[in-house]
Structure 1
Amino acid sequence: MSGGEGQESPAIAVAANAADELYRVRDTYFPQDPAEKISRLQALADAALSIVDSVPPEQRKSPLQRAVYEFLRGKILDVFPDYHKEAEDHLSKAVKLNPSLADAWLCLGNCIWKKGDLPSARNCFSLALSKGANKKILSQLSMLERKMAQGTEDQAQLVEESIKHAKEAVMLDIKDGNSWYNLGNACLTSFFVTGAWDHNKLRQSLKAYQNAEKDETMKSNPDLYFNCATANKYLENYERALHGFESAALKDPSLNAHEEVQKIINLLDKIESSMKGQVRAKRLASLVSSLGEVKLKMHRKATINILVEGLNKAVAMVGKVLIFIKHDNIAPLYYLACDLDQTFFILSVYGLHSDAIKEGDRVTLLEPYKRLIDFSWNGKHYQFKSIRVDFMEQILVNEKAPAPHHAVRAYIHAQHKP
């Protein structure tokens, strides 16, 4: 226990183990009925409090001993999702008795966070860090900064602070799965809140999640699988996303992971349906005839079959938008389009309002990012070509740049239960 005094008494050690077991159950037990979890936590908390109260009075006389006693009582009472004033009172006493007890500062910050007083929670974490670096507190501070960023004008700056603190936690212990998981969440949040739609952030989050999975203790964390699947979904790694959401749903039925699976299936079915309902050849030839008129100054013109998979630098592709594909998610926008060779492809566009591109428009895709989607799921085969647009600067609509008012941000945040 950080900030303790010499060897703990056997009674305190037993009490600390009971508190740790309580939190292990909180973080790994996800029954179908959430009330069942609360009931089990209550029974374990009552038993743990009895163990704490059985510590002999002579073993909680000194300020440091008393601090540990108050800390354990507060920690046990704070295991539930809702704020408990009694927990805050015990934890406040603990840090007054021993300001170096980092674990107590961590619990106090979390407790105050539940109350909704985010600046005071941040102050707790900062005070604890002033006593020395601590990976758990750095991770919680990082998470709190992402929470504080929501809906504020300086949210991009706060998220960058969150990433900085998450990286500091990782550097303290590069094998700690929770620190990697938190860094993944910070990068995933950055992808959305900055409005940049930079999918390098998604790749960074995936790499962090993969490092988190190497830690056996993280295998039971359903949010890790959910958030990793979310990153894969926005990278359009549909098969990996489906597997990830299914794993999350198995580990915690209360997550909306099954809904996410269904959303992806619905999208893929709509894409497949749009590809099957293709325009007649004669009309298609008429629709794409105007594409040859588009003149390019800086880029070499190409069709989708010439493009390599991935990023195609110094190349542009011209297409005709045929169908807007409606689906259940905020972003991206999906369209069925075809190129000058009358080859169909799916166009996915991030960061633009749906009014920016309409059916019948000509789109010029600068340095297009090509994907080949080809996999089977539950006996159904999905196969199509895809072009992804991450930035407004990568697309011209009817030879014009999209208007600034067509830019949008999506406010989506990593799944986490404090």
Structure 2
Amino acid sequence: MAEDEKSGEPATDNNELQVFKELVDELYNFRDCYFETHSVEEAGRKQSDVAQEMEKTLKKLEEKEDVYEHKTEFLLQKGRCLNVAPGFSAVAEKCLSRAVKLEPGLVDGWNTLGEQYWKKGDLIGSKNCFTGALQQSKNKVSLRNLSMVLRQLPAVNSDAHSKQVMESVDMARLAVQLDVTDGTSWYILGNAYVSLFFNCGQNPQLSQQALSAYAQSEKVDRAACCYPELHFNRATLFQYEEMFGCALEGYSRAAALDPGWEDPPEKEKTLLEYLEKVTDLVQKKGTVKARRLRNMLSNLNTSALGPCSSPQFRSPTGRVGSLEPRTLSSLSHGHNAGVAALGKVVFSMASEGRMSFAFGMVDSEETCMVVMVYNTANSWGVLIGDSVVIPEPQLKRHSITHKDKSFDFKSIRVDSPLLLIVNGKKQNVNSQIAASVSYKPQCE
């Protein structure tokens, strides 16, 4: 029998082992490109269809197990086959552990074993596998998986966590650099930027980098358009950026692509309810009766401006000088420099997950507008009847249509309660805390 010069194994064995690899590659292609051959209406069947294909592939492998059970390549492919399922497999772990013991330089073995440890909840073991694989060879799979693990690892304090997040961004960037046509790497880079955005000061540039990475993921890889996690994570960022229509579409798309995942439809429903409540309260000017509202507004005067009336007042943009009080109706869209909005609180509400704290403000003309304040501590809020001044307000018009619902209202965005003047006073530093949102890592 002829032998393969490189491996020293019989050529027929190598040929058959190559067939096993191709079978498992086809299985992954079936899972990852499912919606290229199936409609979104069939999404509910995806998990069972993949499980069925996995069983077929596993059966073909096991027919030859007696012959190849001690071969590294066979153990690798059996482990990879079982790893296609979303949950942990003890059999896969055993196969892959044996494979890397037989061949410590087996990068695919270390990467797949790392994914099994991830699914098992052993993040340290997972990190060690990916790090070990990188010591053998610099590769995109280890880099992007390490990026995900670094963001999930517990940290002793916030500084250590921020450092891990920044390191995870570096890993994801390196993965993209190794193959700019890999949609999964771009998607994971997008997630890394989202995490960095919420952990390191919410720099708008990071938000744009995240959205660009997600867009690039879809551009270079058709399969990426069908990642429910991509649509969900991007929708979470859209919601924080007050791009509510895009957020609703993203949650809806994620729900359609993975009908068994409860979070997307729940987020969509909660956001719709929030928008309905906000628009209703704005139209009604809260629940304050007309007589009480007139009494509240009768004592609304420029004394409420507090420090904003001082020539030494420094605006959020760095401008120094007193601010001119303006009515809500006179504000222009976008940033209103050199002016301040002044009004009375007529309702307040925290959004789901306290992504923002919203309150309704009525001015001297009885115009009502919603104010959305971000990065508020749980203990912070405003009460009905409070006087509020918003220096250099950022005005936005929302016109949203989603399914059979429509919303049209204006809002003022405030990135921190420290920017507000409440009852003539600046807010203390304890009123602010960094916002946090949840997103789904793909490997989970």
The one-letter amino acid paired with 1:362 is: S
Match for residue 424 of structure 2? 399
Match for residue 281 of structure 2? 274
Alignment of 1:3-402 (within 5 A): 9-27=14-32, 39-53=48-62, 66-149=71-154, 153=158, 154-194=160-200, 196-214=201-219, 215-255=221-261, 256-278=263-285, 284=293, 286-288=295-297, 289-293=299-303, 294=305, 295-296=309-310, 297-299=313-315, 300-303=323-326, 304-312=328-336, 315-352=339-376, 353=378, 355-402=380-427
Q: CA separation in 1, counterparts of 2:152 and 2:207?
A: 19
8 Å CA contact 1:170, 1:180 repeated in 2: yes
| Deviates most, 73-82 or 177-186 | 73-82
Deviation, 1:79, is 2.8
Q: CA separation in 2, counterparts of 1:17 and 1:311?
A: 57
Call closer, same or farther: CA 1:402–1:17 in 2, change over 3 Å: farther
The one-letter amino acid paired with 2:54 is: A
8 Å CA contact 1:334, 1:348 repeated in 2: yes
Q: CA separation in 2, counterparts of 1:113 and 1:170?
A: 22
Q: CA separation in 1, counterparts of 2:142 and 2:198?
A: 25
Deviation, 1:221, is 1.1
Call closer, same or farther: CA 1:28–1:257 in 2, change over 3 Å: farther
3-state SS of 2:353 partner: coil
Normalising by the residue count of structure 1, what TM-score does the alignment of the two structures yield?
0.85
Q: Which string of whole-angstrom CA distances, capped at 9 and with x for unpartnered residues, describes residues 304-339 of structure 1?
A: 445443344555433322101354332211111134
3-state SS of 1:414 partner: coil
Q: CA separation in 1, counterparts of 2:208 and 2:325?
A: 27
The structure having more radius of gyration, on CA atoms, is 2
Q: CA separation in 2, counterparts of 1:150 and 1:276?
A: 46
The one-letter amino acid paired with 1:48 is: T
8 Å CA contact 1:369, 1:389 repeated in 2: yes
Call closer, same or farther: CA 1:156–1:366 in 2, change over 3 Å: farther
Deviation, 1:81, is 3.1
The one-letter amino acid paired with 1:181 is: Y
Deviation, 1:349, is 1.1
Q: CA separation in 1, counterparts of 2:244 and 2:132?
A: 43
Call closer, same or farther: CA 1:73–1:377 in 2, change over 3 Å: closer
Call closer, same or farther: CA 1:298–1:78 in 2, change over 3 Å: closer
8 Å CA contact 1:110, 1:121 repeated in 2: yes
Deviation, 1:125, is 0.6
Deviation, 1:368, is 3.0
3-state SS of 1:110 partner: helix
| Deviates most, 214-223 or 272-281 | 272-281
| Deviates most, 227-236 or 25-34 | 25-34
What's the C-alpha RMSD, in Å, of the aligned pairs? 3.3
Q: CA separation in 2, counterparts of 1:33 and 1:381?
A: 29
3-state SS of 2:153 partner: helix
Call closer, same or farther: CA 1:48–1:237 in 2, change over 3 Å: same
Q: CA separation in 2, counterparts of 1:89 and 1:139?
A: 24
8 Å CA contact 1:291, 1:362 repeated in 2: no
Q: CA separation in 2, counterparts of 1:132 and 1:311?
A: 50
Q: Which runs of 5+ in 1 are unaligned?
A: none
Call closer, same or farther: CA 1:34–1:210 in 2, change over 3 Å: closer
8 Å CA contact 1:333, 1:350 repeated in 2: yes
Call closer, same or farther: CA 1:95–1:311 in 2, change over 3 Å: farther
8 Å CA contact 2:43, 2:258 repeated in 1: no
Deviation, 1:108, is 0.8
8 Å CA contact 1:192, 1:413 repeated in 2: no
Call closer, same or farther: CA 1:401–1:390 in 2, change over 3 Å: same
Match for residue 320 of structure 2? none
Call closer, same or farther: CA 1:103–1:277 in 2, change over 3 Å: same
Deviation, 1:197, is 4.5
Deviation, 1:372, is 0.9
The one-letter amino acid paired with 1:52 is: L
3-state SS of 1:219 partner: helix
Match for residue 319 of structure 2? none
Normalising by the residue count of structure 2, what TM-score does the alignment of the two structures yield?
0.81
| Deviates most, 127-136 or 147-156 | 147-156
